[in-house]
Chains A and B, each alone.
Chain A
Amino acid sequence: DVKVTQSSRYLVKRTGEKVFLECVQDMDHENMFWYRQDPGLGLRLIYFSYDVKMKEKGDIPEGYSVSREKKERFSLILESASTNQTSMYLCASRVSDPYEQYFGPGTRLTVT
């Protein structure tokens, strides 16, 4: 079974803090993704990576950065957390063929 894990289920941080969200997959998938999901706005892609040290911006990269030093791990970084980054953050991974994408359990981040 594909397994995607995320470092925290719930996280509370203060405005201005640097926040690290970690995602690990155990299926040797090339592609990894970070989304955020907000009521009424659906899933929005923040960043994705198709290989180690490779990254590309998604639809809403502002205020975020990512790191992928190892194939199995993809980190999302909030450089200076703001209240509008309060959201559910979802990591996903995907093999190139046959393209099935699997999500981690999500991290609900609250920035106060």
Chain B
Amino acid sequence: QKEVEQNSGPLSVPEGAIASLNCTYSDRGSQSFFWYRQYSGKSPELIMFIYSNGDKEDGRFTAQLNKASQYVSLLIRDSQPSDSATYLCAADPLSSGSARQLTFGSGTQLTVLP
């Protein structure tokens, strides 16, 4: 069973701090990784994806990938109350044939305290 594991939280950080969200995956063949933000009652919104080992920055968000350790993380700098949401990690396994299905983690609930 290919799995993506996330700490469900809740994770609380003060406004202005760095929030660190972590994700591990079991399928070594996974090639790309996605972070989604989901506000309560809304659908997941893609915020970042990463394919290569190392860091990828987009504004206040940095995704980090370590394929040797099978570890993906998302850092949110200068956290704002509006960042309070559930963050879903997803892995794209390398497989042949029909549509490649993302494997989703169960999500980490983040609360940014004013």
Contacts and interface: CB of A to CB of B under 8 A. Distances in A.
Interface residues of B, number: 22
B46 A100 contact: yes
Contacts, number: 51
B98 A50 contact: yes
Interface string B28-60: 000010101000001111100101000000000
| Chain B interface helix/strand/loop/mixed | loop
A103 B101 contact: no
Given A42-B106, A48-B101, A56-B99, A101 B34 contact: yes
Interface string A87-107: 000100010001111111110
A107 B107 CA distance: 20
Contacts of B46: 100-103
23 contacts: A30-B99, A31-B100, A33-B99, A42-B105, A48-B98, A48-B99, A48-B101, A49-B99, A50-B98, A50-B99, A58-B101, A94-B99, A99-B49, A99-B92, A99-B100, A100-B49, A101-B46, A101-B90, A101-B102, A103-B44, A103-B45, A104-B43, A106-B42
